[in-house]
């Protein structure tokens, strides 16, 4: 199962590939404001990002670059990985890398578009995710999108210099 090009009102989504290799992307991954709740982030180079992108291209996953239609600017990524074919479900993840584009509703728009595709076209039964409890804006977004808390895993790691919990959330296909 591979991603296909999609679009929404202000954004378009294309398969994440080596085409997206850039210093701007490297800078997102090294920006402490962007990566403070990510498991990976920091210490990125063009070479390390290139290796990551090549690895992702070879996987059977749904992974899109999020681009602004008006400017053609790559501002983040969204993926469904891993995909559980037996349960027809997937694990959602999003990175809004360009912090200059935060607060414009792009994460919500992108999430809705990708979830609509997964539920309506691919007939997923559910989409799951994990989020650090201190990432309040992400938790609020996921609740707005209809995700519900399934479980809480305590003391998963130190994020933003404090011990945090991970919230497991799920959205069922209505």
pLDDT surpassing 90 at residue 23: yes
State pLDDT tens for residues 48-94.
999 999 999 888 889 999 999 999 999 999 999 999 999 999 999 99
Is residue 12 classed exposed, middle or buried when 0-12, 13-18 and 19+ CB atoms within 10 A define those classes?
Answer: middle
The number of C-alpha atoms within 13 Å of 19 and in the hemisphere containing its C-beta is 11
Q: Is the pLDDT of residue 41 over 70?
A: no
126: Cα separation from own chain's centroid: 16
Between 1-10, 34-43, 93-102, 142-151, the lowest mean confidence (pLDDT) is in 34-43
**In which band, very low, low, confident or very high, does the pLDDT at 156 lie, cut at 50, 70 and 90?**
confident
Tens digits of per-residue pLDDT, 108-150? 999 999 999 999 999 999 999 999 999 999 999 999 999 999 9
The pLDDT value recorded for residue 110 is 98
pLDDT on residue 172: 96
User: Which residue ranges form the domains of the chain, and what is each CATH number?
Assistant: 6-124 (3.40.630.30)
């Amino acid at each position: 199962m591979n991603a296909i090009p999609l679009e929404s009102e202000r954004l378009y989504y294309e398969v994440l590939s080596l085409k997206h290799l850039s210093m701007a992307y490297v800078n997102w991954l090294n920006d402490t404001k962007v990566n403070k709740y990510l498991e990976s982030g920091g210490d990125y180079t063009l070479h390390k990002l290139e290796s990551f992108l090549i690895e992702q291209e070879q996987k059977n996953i749904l992974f899109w670059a999020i681009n602004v239609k008006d400017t053609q600017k790559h501002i983040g990524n969204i993926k469904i990985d891993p995909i559980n074919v037996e349960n027809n479900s997937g694990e959602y993840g999003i990175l809004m890398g360009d912090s200059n584009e935060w607060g414009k509703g792009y994460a919500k728009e992108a999430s809705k578009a990708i979830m609509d595709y997964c539920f309506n076209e691919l007939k997923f039964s559910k989409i799951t995710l994990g989020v650090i409890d201190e990432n309040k804006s992400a938790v609020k977004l996921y609740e707005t999108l209809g995700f519900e808390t399934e479980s809480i895993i305590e003391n998963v790691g130190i994020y933003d210099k404090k011990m945090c919990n991970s919230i497991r959330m799920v959205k069922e296909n209505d």
